[in-house]
Structure 1
Amino acid sequence: MLLDEIHTCLTRFWPLVLISSILAYLLSNKYSRGLSKYPGHWLAAYTNWWRLLDVLGWKHEWTTLRLHRKYGDIVRLGPNVLSFGDPKSIKAIYGLNKGMNKSDFYPVQQAVANGRRLQSLFSTTDEDYHARYRRCINSAFAMSSLVSYEPLVDSAMNVFLDQTQRLFADTGNSCNFNQWLQFFAADVIGHLTWSRRLGFMEKNEDVDGIIRFLGRFLSYAGPIGQMPILDLFLEKNPIKLLLQRWGITKSVFPVTQFAQSRSNERAAEMAKIKAYGLQDSDNSKGIDLISKFTKAAHDHPEFMTDTQVLTACISMVFAGSETTAISLSSIFYFLLKHHRVYKKLMSELDESIRNGSILARDNGSVSWAESQKLPYLDAAIQESFRLHPAVGLILERVVPPQGMDICGHFIPGNTVVGCNAWVLHRRPEIFGADVDDFRPERWIEAEPEKLREMKATMFQFGAGSRTCIGKNISLLEVYKLVPSFLRRFEIQLEYPDREWKTHNAWFVRQLDFNTKFKPRMANATVS
């Protein structure tokens, strides 16, 4: 009887019941989590749909910066999401042994093979798994390894310089520079990972559509990561994955297939390393990353499986080309937009050739060691990292169940918190009142204590135990290519009065960065 009455009532008044339920849900989001005192966009307190739609506008970094400038150090981005803009929060959120795990944003970016998720160092939310994985492969990314990697970077860089000469400088053709730089970064990663370039530069094309796939995948992962449950209905649908495991469907991530194919070409050699470790005879041409990952499988067979080796290789393709290309593009763009800086940097390079700090090589190349003697180059690179960090969303972490204090505020347990590099890098009390200006001199003029504070606030590679493991490789590419390219070519924007466009789908990629090149005579002066 009672059930009949309830059914009749629901049938008659279902619109009112539905509206009441929605209102109750929205009000619960706003008030029940203890975050209602934190300001932000008015919709953010009620639903994550606001955040997803704003990220879909591909300019979320500017939204977050505007909100912090309007409301202060803590901004509410979702019913359970807080963005922190105070540099002191970096240590509180990302410091060691804080009990902070990554949020569900990250598994959205996991690759899939044979219907199974591939947990990478970047995408896993399991801190114990991350710690074991990182211990296995950490030595491959240590600063001491740069010496062995530099010849591989040199090989790719020489091809890049020669191809730039042949395809663009000699012909006068326009260059889609941001794409061309990504071809360089992708071939460097191929050389470092599998000891062979993948053909991006030689063919001047997107090999196997990998870069196009990466762009599409990030454009999916960034917005969907704001509401990760959606991924379970889309790419990571359990039924879809089960069908793949059963072999009924054959969907494979192109990057997974790409990395698997490259690794299969070395299968016999890797089997030997996995069985016997690396032998002295294997070192004649340097040790690439797949060899080091496979050696880790020999040294740690209880953890490092073939799946982990493949996942590490996939991660190199996923992150290794995109972020480095973004950093390189921003450096060249800011130089071209600020002729004073461009001219001053060229003077430093030319003077270094004259005084012998840099060897006058025929192809204009600059070594890693030589680049470290160029203070204005370093200042220009750091300033570019500051104004255009590759990552454009907050790096999300989950507060432990017991809650914790962050910068004098008690934050309830299970709240998602994080910092955005675009906000941290534009703090006037750290970098000066002119934080929106490109001025490399700030890195030279700063007193030692202020310089330490500035460097501690830089967040382009993250912070803490989850700092980007490929940071040193990326820096090696950047500090070598920028001076080498500037010595070899004069660069001009094809449309000097036009600003580039950017697309923030997690990484803030540049678009419409078109340039032209001319061969540069040795020690020529930039007019």
Structure 2
Amino acid sequence: MITDALTAFYQQLDLRTVGYAIPLSIFLTHVVPWLWDSHGIRKYPGPFLAKFSDIWLGYVSKGGHRSEVVHEMHRKYGPVVRIAPDHVSIADPDALTVVYAHGNGALKSNFYDAFVSIRRGVFNVRDRNEHTRKRKIISHIFSQKSVLEFEPQIRLYVGQFLQQWDRLYDMAVKGMSGDDGEGWVGRDGRLWLDCLPWANYLAFDIVGDLAFGAPFGMIQAAKDIALVPRNQKSMMESYGREAKQEEVVGIPAVQILNGRGEFSMSMGALPPHWRPIARRLPGYAQGGKAVKDLAGIAIAAVSKRLATPTDRVDLLSKLQTGRDSNGDPMGREELTAEALTLLIAGSDTTSNSTCAILYYLAGNRQAQDKLHKELDEQLGTEDEYVATEAQVKRLPYLDACINEGLRLHSTSSLGLPRLVPEGGITVCGQYFPGGTVLSVPSYTIHRDPEIWGEDIEAFRPERWFERDQADIQKTFNPFSVGPRACVGRNLASLELSIIVASITRHFDFVLEDPNQKLETREGFLRKPLGCRVGIKRRDV
């Protein structure tokens, strides 16, 4: 009956009625809210379309260069820019400690709903009490003392990585080249390859071992591959056994991770009521499959890990023993969701950062020579194939090189959106009422000339010894700040220090093209698209 009534209604519509209805709908949906200005932000400048609709930010996010575009908007309009009807970007270091502060009442915005898979994890949970519960269970895992227990596993896979590059280098200097698809060649006494895939292999094998008790085997296979269950629901219901060969299929994990990040970022920039529609569009449908496949990697790996009881100390075992304030452990589904968070956060960030830092060192002979000198002087007499935590913690120029790489290429470069609580907050002298979304773009504040100097796009580690340290510490934001800052910061820092020190101690780098730009594409994280370098083994 309802269907018949609707059919009759639509038959009575003529083109004139439709012609009136469409602009009226646009006026009511987009212009009236702008005129009403319930958030009190109409006065802030920004792209014209962004004043009325989320379409502008959604389009920019879909394009893969959101941080760079928002940065250009700040250069054009100033430190406070409206980038959506209810969203204001504030490019001022002083805003960091207000927008992301402890106790200010701000919550993660509905942007994070687009990142939920399996169930909410510590990264995308929005409820404050639930986040506090999760943080209590997880935070002790990443204390400095706890992280040091993982050093042997990190060094194991860095060692495998170096052995692979040594093997390829020996073949390269003999004039050999890789088979089709391997992409490496020997020329001019160097091994030429794209270091990005190898950074991915290394990061995935480390996080695979730490989070799931076994590596993915990417370094040894020199291939991007991981297993997912053909039937995720069935495997979730039968945890505690290893999947049979016919129950799983291999997929390119890095490629899936990239697709998932771009999809979720694009979805998050759209209003919640638009997302179900957008998921059906051709440009988004494949991203939904990537979300499912990535969840499948965690489901298969956790199931395999729990199939064989062990007293091995790793991230998953620590998650299993964690308890909330009521003494309750995580359930099976929650455990898997948190393991998925570890997989995403622990792989992409490390690989992206490693690749970017090697790119900047390869393009700056002076900085690379200074780092080689520090490594040779401090580690030259110590018979360690892979650097240790005890060694790298006393290397100030290494720290400066890593930090400068993270300044120029923070993998999380966008402004993380926060929802202003009821009662509002004042940021940099500007009052914002409850319900407004605020963010502070790391990409832009990492390029503030007042803090970093006029040569903001130059890779110059020396600035970390020259600039005011208080300003630097206030502005440098690769891991965010406040109660929702990256819980794995200590682990990420240890990994990067050991990886960069070990690789640069053994090899000298040059860019294949001295004018090569580090091309990137941004999903939630800003990822290099490749970096071809020529490496030569050093005598150490």
- With the length of structure 2 as denominator, give the TM-score of the two structures: 0.84
Distance 1:125 1:298 in 2: 18
Q: Identify the match of residue 254 of structure 2 among 208, 211, 219.
A: 211
Q: Report the alpha carbon displacement of residue 10 of structure 1 after superposing the two structures with TM.
A: 8.0
The Cα offsets for residues 357-411 of structure 1, whole Å up to 9 and x where unpaired, read as xx232x2x21112112111111111111111100132100001122221111111
**What letter is aligned with 2:265?**
G
CA–CA distance in structure 2, aligned partners of residues 9 and 504 of structure 1: 44
Aligned to 2:322: 296
Please state whether the residue corresponding to 1:40 is helix, strand or coil: coil
Unaligned runs of 5+ in 1: 113-117, 238-249, 273-281, 523-527
- Partner of residue 245, structure 1: none
Q: Note if 1:254 corresponds to 2:298.
A: no
Counterpart selection for 1:409 from 412, 430, 450: 430
| Distance in structure 1 (CA, Å) of the matches to 2:489 and 2:334 | 20
Please report the RMSD computed on the Cα atoms of aligned residues, expressed in angstroms.
Answer: 2.5
- For 1:322 and 1:119, locate their aligned partners in 2 and report how far apart those are by CA, in whole Å: 20
User: Does the 8 Å CA contact 2:400/2:464 hold for their aligned counterparts?
Assistant: yes
For 1:166, give the aligned amino acid.
Answer: R
State the Cα distance separating 1:167 from its structure 2 match.
3.1
Amino acid at match of 2:200: Q
Deviation at 1:301, TM superposition (A): 5.5
In the TM superposition, residue 337 of structure 1 has moved relative to its aligned partner by 1.4
Aligned to 2:464: 443
- Residues 319 and 335, structure 2, Cα contact 8 Å, conserved in 1: yes
The residue that corresponds to 2:69 in the other structure is: 63
Contact 2:362 2:533 in 1 (8 A): no
Matched, 1:418 2:457: no
In the alignment, what sits opposite 1:121?
Answer: 122
Mapping for residues 68-467 of structure 1, pairs under 5 Å: 68-112=74-118, 118-168=119-169, 170-171=171-172, 172=186, 174-208=192-226, 209-229=252-272, 230-233=274-277, 253-268=292-307, 282=311, 287-296=313-322, 302=328, 304-354=330-380, 359-361=382-384, 363=385, 365-446=386-467, 450-467=468-485
Going from structure 1 to structure 2, the CA distance change for 1:126 and 1:158 (only over 3 Å counts) comes to same
Alpha-carbon deviation of 1:106?
A: 0.9
| Structure 2 contact 322–329 (Cα < 8 Å) conserved | no
* DSSP 3-state at the match of 1:391: coil
Separation (CA, whole Å) in 2 of partners of 1:465 and 1:156: 32
Instruction: Name the CA distance, whole Å, in 2 between partners of 1:168 and 1:81.
Output: 51
CA distance in structure 1 between the aligned counterparts of 2:391 and 2:13, rounded to whole angstroms: 80
Note if 1:489 corresponds to 2:495.
no
Q: State the secondary structure of the residue aligned to 1:44.
A: helix
- CA displacement at 1:269 relative to structure 2: 5.0
Q: How far did 1:161 drift?
A: 0.7
Distance 1:509 1:318 in 2: 13
8 Å contact from structure 1 (residues 105, 225) kept in 2: yes
- Identity in percent: 29
Q: Secondary structure at the match of 2:110?
A: coil
- Residue 82 of structure 1 aligns to a residue whose secondary structure is strand
Distance 1:298 1:126 in 2: 16
Which residue, out of 10, 15, 22, partners 2:26? 22
Q: Deviations over 1:273-312 (max 9, x none)?
A: xxxxxxxxx3xx5x11111111115996535211221111
Q: How many residue pairs are counted as aligned between the two chains?
A: 481
Equivalent of residue 57 in structure 2, options 51, 55, 66: 51
C-alpha contact (below 8 Å) 1:55/1:222 kept by paired residues: yes
* Equivalent residues of 2:141, 2:147 under 8 A apart: no
Rounded Cα–Cα distance in structure 1 between residues aligned with 2:366 and 2:432 = 46
Residues 114-139 of structure 1, C-alpha deviation per residue, up to 9 Å, x if partnerless? xxxx1011011111111101101211
Q: Is the partner of 1:218 in helix, strand or coil? A: helix
2:511 maps to amino acid: L
Once residues 465 and 45 of structure 1 are traced to their aligned partners in structure 2, the CA distance between those partners, rounded to angstroms, is: 31
Residue of structure 1 aligned with 2:43, choices 37, 40, 54:
37
Q: Distance in 1 between matches of 2:78 and 2:451?
A: 15
C-alpha distance in 1 between matches for 2:376 and 2:518: 29
Distance 1:427 1:150 in 2: 35
Contact preservation (8 Å) 2:99, 2:439: yes
State the 1:498 CA deviation: 2.3
Q: Confirm or deny: 8 A CA contact 2:102 2:482 kept in the other structure.
A: yes
Structure 2: distance between partners of 1:136 and 1:493: 44
- CA contact under 8 A between 2:295 and 2:340: conserved in structure 1? yes
Counterpart CA distance in 2 for 1:65 and 1:323 is 21
1:32: Cα distance to partner? 2.3
The reply to whether residue 519 of structure 1 matches residue 531 of structure 2 is no
- Residue segments in structure 2 that go unaligned for 5+ positions in a row: 1-7, 173-185, 227-251, 282-288
Q: 1:268 to 1:453 in 2, by over 3 A?
A: same
Structure-2 separation of matches of 1:319 and 1:372: 23
CA contact (8 A) 2:379 2:391 kept: no
Partner of 2:495: 477
Call closer, same or farther: CA 1:510–1:467 in 2, change over 3 Å.
same
User: Which letter does structure 1 place at the counterpart of 2:367?
Assistant: V
Q: Distance in 1 between matches of 2:48 and 2:324?
A: 54
Note closer, same or farther for the CA distance 1:460–1:392 as it changes in structure 2 (3 Å cut): same
For the residue of structure 1 that corresponds to 2:517, the secondary structure is coil
AA in 2 matched with 1:219? E
Q: Is the 8 A contact 1:391 1:460 kept in 2?
A: yes
**2 CA distance for matches of 1:407 and 1:494?**
45
Tell me if the contact between 1:170 and 1:518 (Cα under 8 Å) persists in the aligned partners: no
Alignment-derived partner of residue 242 in structure 1: none
Q: Verify the 8 A CA contact 1:395 1:420 in the aligned structure 2.
A: yes
Instruction: Tell me, in whole angstroms, the C-alpha distance in 1 between the residues paired with 2:501 and 2:15.
Output: 73
CA 1:202–1:28 in 2, change beyond 3 Å: closer, same or farther?
same
CA separation in 2, counterparts of 1:308 and 1:24? 42
Name the structure 2 match of 1:278: none
**CA 303–149 in structure 1, closer or farther in 2 if over 3 Å, else same:** closer
Structure 1 pair 405/30, CA: closer, same or farther in 2 (3 Å)?
Answer: same
Cα distance, 1:367–1:236 mapped onto 2, change above 3 Å: farther
- Classify the secondary structure of the residue corresponding to 2:63: coil
Quickly say closer, same or farther: Cα 1:259–1:12, change in 2 above 3 A: closer
Q: What CA distance in whole angstroms lies between the structure 1 residues aligned with 2:13 and 2:373?
A: 82
Give the C-alpha shift of residue 17 in structure 1: 3.1
Provide the secondary structure at the position in 2 that maps to 1:105: helix
Residues 142, 472 of structure 1: 8 Å contact kept: yes
Q: What's the TM-score, normalizing by structure 1?
A: 0.86
Shift of 1:11: 7.2
Alpha-carbon separation, structure 1, partners of 2:76 and 2:291:
45
CA-CA distance at 1:157 after TM superposition: 0.8
Query: Letter of the aligned partner of 1:492 in structure 2?
Result: V
